[in-house]
Structure 1
């Protein structure tokens, strides 16, 4: 391997990120409605399910932050987060609050389980495990290091794609998993993978990405095969 290419790969290893990876189901569901869930959510007693085009949305992902083995900076003042999705279609190009909505709670006090509605996914509880070696994809890595010598060296290119870990499933933190192209890692908070067990799919085995700016505004993106 070319020494310049090896040096850039070594530099890239210095940019690996920590993340909390989700395991969907496979264990007895807890009685506590305020734990992390795929397909269930909680809220304040006066809150109802948000609506889109006259129909209630459903909770796609609930994250209890103190269960995370790794917490990104954007969630350090959040106790519980619930992402809602509409029942008719993926809200491509729609802003926060239209077809998708995230509610954040600074405390668990007073939160109760939200009513369940007919939805196309099967609910499962979530457990989390920490990794400290989540790597960016090809375009994301270009933002961190110069990959030109890697691109010119077949062994280095193989090492880039085979020698780093990139987690595609549901996770908090780390880097967004690239499918078609880079989506940018700035303000990235979490992603939701296509979870076969729950019957959830973004297009053809895709990933949904969620970003929170410094002013608290959320945005999302999606890629699939």
Structure 2
């Protein structure tokens, strides 16, 4: 997903980074555990995307909020970060809620379908594929795994997480859903040019947040 070079449509069926404007009538910007308003990080209108996780098949709009101080990795959702999911049957209001200052610079997002996104070498390569790559390297047929794969490091829904350090496994039943990467135009810096990565459990619907950085 990218931004810049095009104007916002002003319609509700648009995805944004650094902005949330769709709420249920009884909702406002959530508060963190210190009682401060969280930052609106992103709003995704899922029917307008070329790809979406099957775990979001019943979700029309997804919004993400986070405390100005990053939560702990794998911290339970609710205290310092929050995802809201809305189905097609829910009535949403368009509102410009006051948010903390300074905040992020908002941009509308435009999605493009990426035909192939592979896991990073130290971030989830299946053992059988790892063995085959090592065999090809020993045989001199390739110099590196990265000669034969591509990986998208930007904001994305689907694909594989962009770990900066050794990859992690959030546990059985969790599927990687989306990430937001550090973005200087937006003013988003994940500690040290890292990425926020989010998984959802296929059975319970629980969300997990992890991030790392250089």
> Residues 13 and 48 of structure 2 are in contact (CA less than 8 Å); yes or no, is this contact kept in structure 1?
no
Aligned pairs, how many?
203
Q: Give the secondary structure class of the aligned counterpart of 2:157.
A: strand
The yes-or-no answer on 1:206 pairing with 2:187 is: no
The yes-or-no answer on 1:219 pairing with 2:205 is: no
2:2 equivalent in structure 1: 23
> Residues 61 and 87 of structure 2 are in contact (CA less than 8 Å); yes or no, is this contact kept in structure 1?
yes
2:95 equivalent in structure 1: 113
How far apart, in 2, do the equivalents of 1:40 and 1:206 lie?
Answer: 20
Q: Give the secondary structure class of the aligned counterpart of 2:133.
A: helix
Contiguous gaps of at least 5 residues in structure 1: 1-21
How far apart, in 2, do the equivalents of 1:25 and 1:45 lie?
Answer: 31
Alignment of 1:98-137 (within 5 A): 98-107=79-88, 109-117=91-99, 118-137=101-120
How far apart, in 2, do the equivalents of 1:213 and 1:66 lie?
Answer: 21
Q: TM-score under structure 2 normalisation?
A: 0.87
> How far has the Cα of 1:223 moved from its partner?
1.1
Q: Give the secondary structure class of the aligned counterpart of 1:158.
A: coil
> How far has the Cα of 1:174 moved from its partner?
0.5
The yes-or-no answer on 1:50 pairing with 2:30 is: yes
> Residues 39 and 103 of structure 2 are in contact (CA less than 8 Å); yes or no, is this contact kept in structure 1?
no
> Residues 36 and 62 of structure 1 are in contact (CA less than 8 Å); yes or no, is this contact kept in structure 2?
yes
CA 1:123 to 1:139, structure 2 compared with 1: closer, same or farther past 3 Å?
same
The structure richer in strand per residue is: 1
1:17 equivalent in structure 2: none
> How far has the Cα of 1:193 moved from its partner?
0.6
> How far has the Cα of 1:27 moved from its partner?
1.1
> Residues 40 and 59 of structure 1 are in contact (CA less than 8 Å); yes or no, is this contact kept in structure 2?
yes
Q: Which has the higher contact order (CA 8 A, sep 6+)?
A: 1
Contiguous gaps of at least 5 residues in structure 2: none
How far apart, in 2, do the equivalents of 1:74 and 1:91 lie?
Answer: 24
1:160 pairs with one of 128, 145, 150: 145
1:63 equivalent in structure 2: 44
**Cα-Cα RMSD:** 2.0
CA 1:144 to 1:190, structure 2 compared with 1: closer, same or farther past 3 Å?
farther
> Residues 58 and 86 of structure 1 are in contact (CA less than 8 Å); yes or no, is this contact kept in structure 2?
yes
Q: TM-score under structure 1 normalisation?
A: 0.83
> How far has the Cα of 1:157 moved from its partner?
5.9
